[in-house]
Amino acid sequence: MSTLPKGFRGDMPNGFNPASVESLDSKTREHIERRSRLLGPAYRLFYAQPLRIARGAGVYLYDDAGDEYLDAYNNVVSVGHAHPRVTAAISRQLDTLCTHTRYMQDGILRYAEKLLATFEGEIGAGHTMFTCTGSEANDLAMRIARHHTGNEGVIVTSEAYHGNSGVTSSFSPSLGKRSALGPMVRTVPPPDSYRIVPEHIGRWMADNVAQQIEDIKRHGGGLAAFIVDSLFSSDGLYSHPVDVLKPVAEVVRSAGGLFIADEVQCGFGRSGTHMWGHRRHGVDPDIVTLGKPMGNGYPVAGVVVRSDVVASFGRDMRYFNTFGGNSVAIAAAEATLNVIQDEGLMANATRVGKIILDGLTSIAAKYEQIGDVRGTGLYFGVELVKDRKTKASDIDTGLAIVNRLRQRRVLISATGADANVLKIRPPLVFTEADADRLLTEIEASFASL
């Protein structure tokens, strides 16, 4: 008899549903039941048939039987699983010293200089502050924004994800309808280029933001910040057009708010053409938040902030994070940035990404279930619909493709409000051969429907 507690549900996109545990082999079933007993009901597993991953190398993951899987989803290890330069940097520093930022160390200053040099505009002359996770980075960014403006209001896109701390979950609507948003949090629709005429999107989105600013004022508040992932990763991935956020930033600043660019998913060269996603839109943010790929799997994240924006916060508060910016985390971050730059991974993302985007477009021409293909660099969204005329979302086909690819040992996921958008974001070291395997298996999965 299952020991899974009541209410344990796989209700995230592409989440394993524990109600089907009896259909699994005994070893997997015993592991999942033990996991539930020890870790509790809040944890989720990927895929209808969960994976037991034993090791990783480059763009591949291997299960406990030694079977190889092409990882076309994991952007955390942006320069590949177990990259030797990153591994060596972490090991060398851990063998020397691991301590916090209250001692003078050259490594953190050297990395801060390299990191700030990748930014354009006024923020490039700003400051860096380090955390352990993207959630912490967004939490800190919002603390700074609220202190600087004296306001509490926050505007996000309708399916945004910005973290799972108490503060960030209050402006992360993608966590679900049961996860309450803050009283001064407002949402706007994402720039749905599949359903809205592209040349109208920027003004349309700016008008939506302006309406929500007025609603915050009507309820006695003011705007602290508009925070956005410039590739709208959780909303369904909208890479184009790239003139959407500039008019939004103008509206936000005219209301006294700050523009926060959440680069946790879309930064560090993911788009191919730019190191940071916000630059594709020509926006100069007031605050930028970083995370996921920053240490290639080692927990390191941070905030880049304009000097004038953080000045009063620094005067009135003190910031300390026991592990944020520790010497090992900085070694991992510096090695990862060095690899991205030294190995030309942005150019690789552009070159290999074009192969994948062209291939996905070709597959879309053959299968009516594919309504739209979008992407840039090594980040793609494939929207699945029941009918191309109505553009009605097709969640069933989306999850079927994700799980058929898993059976074919290729790993992707799903995103969007209806989980009907295939989310493909390989490590930046993807090769042409990897792209060919990915496209071959995607087409085979559609053919098998």
pLDDT in the model for residue 12: 57
What average pLDDT does range 361-377 have in this prediction? Answer: 98
**Which band of pLDDT confidence, cut at 50, 70 and 90, is reported for residue 7?**
very low
pLDDT in the model for residue 8: 32
What average pLDDT does range 254-282 have in this prediction? Answer: 97
H helices of 273-431, where?
A: 307-316, 327-342, 345-364, 395-407
**Which band of pLDDT confidence, cut at 50, 70 and 90, is reported for residue 48?**
confident
> How is the chain split into domains, by residue range?
85-342
pLDDT in the model for residue 21: 79
| Mean pLDDT of all residues belonging to the chain | 94
pLDDT in the model for residue 44: 84
Question: What proportion of the chain, given as a percentage, has pLDDT over 90?
Answer: 87
Residue scoring higher pLDDT (6 or 15): 15
Three-state SS string over the chain comes to: CCCCCCCCCCCCCCECCHHHHHHCCHHHHHHHHHHHHHHCCCCCCECCCCCCEEEEEECEEEECCCCEEEECCCCCCCCCECCHHHHHHHHHHHCCCCCCCCCCCHHHHHHHHHHHCCCCCHHHHCEEEEECCHHHHHHHHHHHHHHHHCCCEEEEECCCCCCCCHHHHCCCHHHCCCCCCCCCEEEECCCCCCCCCHHHHHHHHHHHHHHHHHHHHHCCCCEEEEEECCCCCCCCCCCCCCCCHHHHHHHHHHCCCEEEEECCCCCCCCCCCCCCHHHHHCCCCCEEEECHHHHCCCCCEEEEECHHHHHHHHHHCCCCCCCCCCHHHHHHHHHHHHHHHHCCHHHHHHHHHHHHHHHHHHHHCCCCCEEEEEEECCEEEEEEEEECCCCEECHHHHHHHHHHHHHCCEECEEECCCCCEEEECCCCCCCHHHHHHHHHHHHHHHHCC
**Which band of pLDDT confidence, cut at 50, 70 and 90, is reported for residue 18?**
confident
Return the ∠ at Cα 213 (arms to 210 and 215), rounded to 5°: 115
pLDDT in the model for residue 9: 32
What average pLDDT does range 133-148 have in this prediction? Answer: 98
pLDDT higher than threshold 80 for residue 16 = no
Between 35-49, 58-72, 225-239, 243-257, the lowest mean confidence (pLDDT) is in: 35-49
What average pLDDT does range 229-249 have in this prediction? Answer: 96
What average pLDDT does range 52-56 have in this prediction? Answer: 95
What is the C-alpha to C-alpha distance for residues 131 and 168, in angstroms, rounded to an integer?
Answer: 14
Between 22-36, 95-109, 263-277, 340-354, the lowest mean confidence (pLDDT) is in: 22-36
What average pLDDT does range 97-116 have in this prediction? Answer: 96
pLDDT in the model for residue 292: 94
What average pLDDT does range 408-428 have in this prediction? Answer: 96
| Domain at 85-342: CATH architecture | 3-Layer(aba) Sandwich (3.40)
**Which band of pLDDT confidence, cut at 50, 70 and 90, is reported for residue 211?**
very high
What average pLDDT does range 277-287 have in this prediction? Answer: 97
Crossing angle of helices 134-149 and 307-316, in 10° steps, is 90
The string of DSSP letters for 1-39 reads: ---PPTT----STTB--GGGGGGS-HHHHHHHHHHHHHH
pLDDT in the model for residue 13: 62
Q: Three-state DSSP class for 349?
A: helix
What tens digit of pLDDT does each residue of 158-190 get?
999 999 999 999 999 999 888 999 999 999 999
- The structure's pTM equals 0.94
pLDDT higher than threshold 50 for residue 4 = no
What average pLDDT does range 360-387 have in this prediction? Answer: 98
**Which band of pLDDT confidence, cut at 50, 70 and 90, is reported for residue 1?**
very low
pLDDT in the model for residue 430: 98
Residue with tokens 């291939």: 359
What is the C-alpha to C-alpha distance for residues 414 and 236, in angstroms, rounded to an integer?
Answer: 9
